[in-house]
Structure 1
């Protein structure tokens, strides 16, 4: 596997391993969901909160199915790396694994419900993942490939897929996460 792509997979593993115990567990996905709910000022008991928790549960089920080779309820870095390499080679498996989660995340951050994720709405998602205001603006500018001032589901999904499959540094997907997550 290309060094850049391996680093990106490892960096996203670290992002998902919220408690830093060396494995991704359901509690980690709930912690990420909680960060996003806090950023949105949304209680877990609200409709959007329940939707995010349900999305986290479904995404966990998908991750376990694809990544948890020994079925112990924990995804190790090696399991994650091997599964991500396999998933992103096969576009159909990528869509199965990430499309619903991406769609749900974008719907949740679409605060005004107009079906378009604007820069300030997208920034809420990225800030909950630890990006700075400047990194959010840069990511948004590169992911808005049609220049309409919004990020569509397709633009987001394309960027995620590209992040994991294209090691080039000048593609929209290469801007999905901050430079600090890129290899030196």
Structure 2
């Protein structure tokens, strides 16, 4: 059961990353994701845009180095799920790839320096990243653990960590990209 939960989450992530929808991930797919994320930063916020770009490049190198089992320069869904479970979620790799993106994203979005995202900011962010507002609004309600109407940096980091690391099918972070029961 727990392996199925992670496979579902990573399959959802794969669909999100597969920007051209061809069933495999390429460097171009991750570059397009990078551009979406960078587009959330203000034009003059070069530091956070660069941090996100560098983290996505780290992630791509991890996928290619540890996941491209057939050496074709592309990552299939099965390769992606395997490398996510074994390597990307390794604590050192997770911090330098996934959480580095989260931290730069929060800094970029926190233009008023209040250290939180409102529901409208959160929904707008995920809408720009291609996640339907109906899913991100539902996710926000689950992720706002203290019920104060905003997500702190810590709450957002917890949600991301749950999505990638938790075996619990009921973990709130599982909702980041929408429901997991969607068909592949």
Are 1:4 and 1:182, in contact at CA under 8 Å, matched by a contact in 2? no
User: Residues 35, 93 of structure 1: CA spacing in aligned structure 2 closer, same or farther, 3 A cutoff?
Assistant: closer
Are 2:123 and 2:136, in contact at CA under 8 Å, matched by a contact in 1? yes
Cα deviation for residue 82 of structure 1 reads 0.8
Cα deviation for residue 24 of structure 1 reads 1.4
Are 1:135 and 1:178, in contact at CA under 8 Å, matched by a contact in 2? yes
Instruction: State the distance in 2 between where 1:141 and 1:91 align.
Output: 28
Cα deviation for residue 36 of structure 1 reads 4.3
TM-score (norm: length of structure 2)? 0.76
Which residues of 2 match residues 94-109 of structure 1 at below 5 A?
A: 94-109=94-109
Instruction: State the distance in 1 between where 2:101 and 2:37 align.
Output: 14
TM-score (norm: length of structure 1)? 0.76
1:86 and 2:81 correspond: no
Three-state SS of the structure 2 residue aligned to 1:151 is: strand
Give structure 1 regions of 4+ aligned residues with deviation exceeding 6 angstroms. none
User: Residues 128, 75 of structure 1: CA spacing in aligned structure 2 closer, same or farther, 3 A cutoff?
Assistant: same
Are 2:49 and 2:104, in contact at CA under 8 Å, matched by a contact in 1? no
Name the residue aligned to 2:25.
24
Three-state SS of the structure 2 residue aligned to 1:12 is: helix
**Alignment: residue pair count:** 180
Which residues of 2 match residues 53-132 of structure 1 at below 5 A?
A: 53-70=53-70, 72-87=72-87, 90-132=90-132
User: Residues 80, 113 of structure 1: CA spacing in aligned structure 2 closer, same or farther, 3 A cutoff?
Assistant: same
Instruction: State the distance in 2 between where 1:37 and 1:125 align.
Output: 11
Question: Is 78-87 or 140-149 further displaced after alignment?
Answer: 140-149
Instruction: State the distance in 2 between where 1:114 and 1:32 align.
Output: 26
In structure 1, the gaps of 5 or more residues are none
Which residues of 2 match residues 151-170 of structure 1 at below 5 A?
A: 151-164=151-164, 165-169=166-170
Instruction: State the distance in 2 between where 1:108 and 1:175 align.
Output: 22
RMSD: 3.0
User: Residues 87, 53 of structure 1: CA spacing in aligned structure 2 closer, same or farther, 3 A cutoff?
Assistant: closer
Deviation per residue, 1:143-177 (Å, 9 max, x gap): 122334332333223222322432423x2112212
Which residues of 2 match residues 1-40 of structure 1 at below 5 A?
A: 2-36=3-37, 40=40
Three-state SS of the structure 2 residue aligned to 1:2 is: helix
